[in-house]
Amino acid sequence: MNTNLADKTVVVSGAAGGVGRSIVTKMLAEGAKVCATDISDNVAELEKQSGAVVAIVGDVTKSTDVEAIFAKAENAFGPVDVLVSNAGFIISKPAHETSEDEWDQVMNANAKSLFLMAKRALPAMMKRGGGAIVATGSISSVVGLPDQAAYCAAKGALLQLVRQMAVDYAAYNIRVNAVGAGSIDTPFLRRYLDALADPVAGEAAVKAAHPLGRWAQPDEIADAIVYLASSSASFVTGHILMADGGYSAR
């Protein structure tokens, strides 16, 4: 695969999480310079991997933090070529049990975060005549899943913003895509299972729901993200690449 990511400046949100760490490692392997950002202080550990990583703690639901993240990234590595909007958060409840605050938290973490980061990244990409934005979507972007009222709404909004921005910014050679992830073995999924009445039965049910009969490892999702960010996907925009073990094919 010809990625042409060497020396590119890449911002990755949710970088301290399961998928985020894998994205950072794979981007480094392609020779990219990575600004790894997360609301968790744990993101600092990633700087040990390479001098080509700068770790920044910030909340991507806040425009002031997003401004600080991009300012630090640009200061460290120059203009941002690739944005990976990967931070996400789930509260699993049906609509009638979801509080207004829970709705806002989930919408902000999964959808507003993409809006704020893209809004900050796009003007410089437009000026320089190119760029790539990849958002971590979900099977919840395309199907209704039980007890995921706010999360399905948020990941659906993420997908529509991806499609909309793909149209607006194609003229500037900026591609905007999403990965539609199935269940992934990360702390996110473990928290979800632990909250169920029967986590063991939950794990079996989650795996059985994917035709491949298992859940994904973070690297399998990161590979799809790196592909969409790379020049191998140079004619791909407005697309959701379902890396879901066949879940949405049923």
Ligand X SMILES: NC(=O)c1ccc[n+]([C@@H]2O[C@H](COP(=O)([O-])OP(=O)(O)OC[C@H]3O[C@@H](n4cnc5c(N)ncnc54)[C@H](O)[C@@H]3O)[C@@H](O)[C@H]2O)c1
Of all residues in the shown chain, the one whose CB is closest to ligand X is 17
> CA 217, 182, 21, 33 torsion: positive or negative?
positive
Smallest separation (angstroms) from ligand X to the CB of 221? 7
Smallest separation (angstroms) from ligand X to the CB of 5? 20
Smallest separation (angstroms) from ligand X to the CB of 90? 6
**CB 151, CB 90: distance < 8 Å:** yes
Structure tokens at 12: 């990755």
Pick from 187, 199, 213, 246: which binds ligand X (CB under 6 A)? 187
* Binding status of residue 186 toward ligand X by CB under 6 A: yes
User: What sections of 44-98 are H helices per DSSP?
Assistant: 63-77
Of residues 112-141, those binding ligand X (CB under 6 A): 136, 138
E-strand spans in the chain? 9-13, 33-38, 53-57, 82-85, 131-138, 174-181, 240-243
Of residues 190-249, those binding ligand X (CB under 6 A): none
Of residues 59-88, those binding ligand X (CB under 6 A): 59-61, 86-88
Q: Strands of 240-243's sheet, edge to edge?
A: 53-57, 33-38, 9-13, 82-85, 131-138, 174-181, 240-243
CB of 59 or CB of 81, closer to ligand X:
59
Verify whether residue 151 is a known catalytic residue: yes
What gap in Å lies between CA 205 and CA 214, rounded to an integer? Answer: 10
CB of 86 or CB of 230, closer to ligand X:
86
CB of 9 or CB of 183, closer to ligand X:
183
What gap in Å lies between CA 88 and CA 225, rounded to an integer? Answer: 15
* Binding status of residue 40 toward ligand X by CB under 6 A: yes
Q: How far from 152 is each of 67, 162, 170, CA to CA, in Å?
A: 28, 15, 27
C-alpha angle 20-247-135 in degrees, rounded to nearest 5: 30
CB of 109 or CB of 209, closer to ligand X:
109
Structure tokens at 4: 């042409």
Pick from 183, 210, 226, 242: which binds ligand X (CB under 6 A)? 183
CB of 9 or CB of 113, closer to ligand X:
113
Q: Which sequence positions are flagged as catalytic?
A: 151
List residues near ligand X by CB under 6 A.
13-14, 16-20, 38-40, 59-61, 86-89, 109-110, 136, 138, 181, 183-184, 186-189
